[in-house]
Amino acid sequence: MKPVRKAVFPVAGMGTRFLPATKTVPKEMLPLVDRPLIQYAVDEARAAGIEEFIFITSPGKTALENYFGAAPALERTLSEKGKTGPLEALRPSHVAEGAVSFVRQENPKGLGHAVLLARRLVGDEPFAVILPDDLIRARTPALKQMVEAHSKNRGHMIATESVCDDRISSYGVVDIERREGAVQILRGLVEKPRPEEAPSQSGVVGRYILEPSIFERLAVQGPGAGGEIQLTDAIAADIAETGVNGFEFDGERFDCGSVSGFLNATIAYALDRPDLIDNLQGFLRGRATGLSQAA
Ligand code: UTP
């Protein structure tokens, strides 16, 4: 059984919900507290034992490529000035050369198409896909939970969470045959169903562990919902042959692709920080009092 050593980060989307910021700054580089969104995804992958990082980027996202490189001039200056704190803060942003690759998706043809572009770099082994937009705050990082579950349940594995009725038609939705703890053995998967046609209340979120057979499916997959090549459709097509499990992770997900989700995540992560919590709590209490007096 091959271990999960590689992770694909599809970051070639247009980020239209964050315009005008994303006109020049990639969504994944927007700072959440004091680090870009992409850093959280890479930290989660590292915690799950990932050794190779494959980014599917688009033209205009060079800031993202530069972010993971070394910064010798900056490091030298900080070191000469004895600024050990800032030097330490830089460390997680550096991924060793040879462990990081960038593949261009020239046109945003869909998440499935983006994943297919990693085929040559992934080769014949299971791999993780992380959508940095879906930020998961968890005691045990979500991908680590999944890697452990995947070692006992082969086949594709997709993270799921409970979604309310009025949001279900924005998600891929799983059709569950049976449950074994946090693992859902699936018999089907539907992309963006109408609420009355949704097979369950479990929606797919942005963590996957995929077997290499997914590439053969994606290579012949036509456009689906929204005219895009959908990853969900290719996974659904592979249910009978490879098997697909849902995984109900233990954690709290924020949709950082939306402005409101990004704001909520910023507050939640800032409240986790001992150096920021007192100031933020005081500020929020003051605002809450002001709001209740105005109401
Ligand atoms: P989204 O559906 O959130 O699209 O993509 P988006 O372009 O990033 O954002 P909006 O909706 O315009 O605001 C989900 C994930 O799939 C990637 C995105 O970068 C994001 O991580 N993606 C999507 C690609 O890499 N390529 C694509 O063609 C489409």
pLDDT digit string, tens, across residues 231-267: 999 999 999 999 999 999 999 999 999 999 999 999 9
Q: Is the CB of 114 under 6 A from ligand 1?
A: yes
Give the CATH class of 9-257: alpha beta
Task: Specify the residue for token string 């005691």.
Answer: 139
Does residue 111 have its Cβ closer than 6 Å to ligand 1?
Answer: yes
Per the CB < 8 A criterion, the answer to whether 63 and 25 are in contact is: yes
Residue among 61, 130, 131, 170 whose CB has most ligand 1 atoms within 8 A, to mutate: 131
What was the pLDDT predicted at 178?
Answer: 95
The segments of the chain whose pLDDT lies below 70 read none
Residue 226 gets the label, from left (phi > 0), alpha (psi -120 to 50) or beta, of left
* pLDDT value of residue 67: 94
Q: What is the DSSP letter of 118?
A: T
pLDDT of 106 reads 93
Answer yes or no: is the C-beta of 16 below 6 A from any ligand 1 atom.
Answer: yes
To which residue do tokens 């046609």 refer? 197
- Nearest residue by C-alpha to atom 4 in ligand 1: 13
Q: What is the pLDDT of residue 197?
A: 92
Q: Is 181 left (phi over 0), alpha (psi -120 to 50) or beta?
A: left
User: Is the CB of residue 28 below 6 angstroms from any atom belonging to ligand 1?
Assistant: no
pLDDT of residue 100: 95
pLDDT of residue 175: 96
Atom of ligand 1 nearest to the CA of 11: 19
Please work out whether the CB of residue 56 comes within 6 Å of at least one atom of ligand 1: yes
- Which residue's CA lies nearest to atom 16 of ligand 1? 111
Give the pLDDT of residue 111: 95
How far does residue 109's CA lie from ligand 1's centre (Å)? 10
Q: Are 53 and 95 in contact (CB under 8 A)?
A: yes
User: Residue 295 and residue 284: Cα distance in Å, rounded?
Assistant: 16
Identify the pLDDT of residue 182.
Answer: 96
CB 208 within 8 A of CB 118: no
Q: What is the pLDDT of residue 271?
A: 97
pLDDT at 156: 97
Regarding pTM above 0.85, the answer is yes
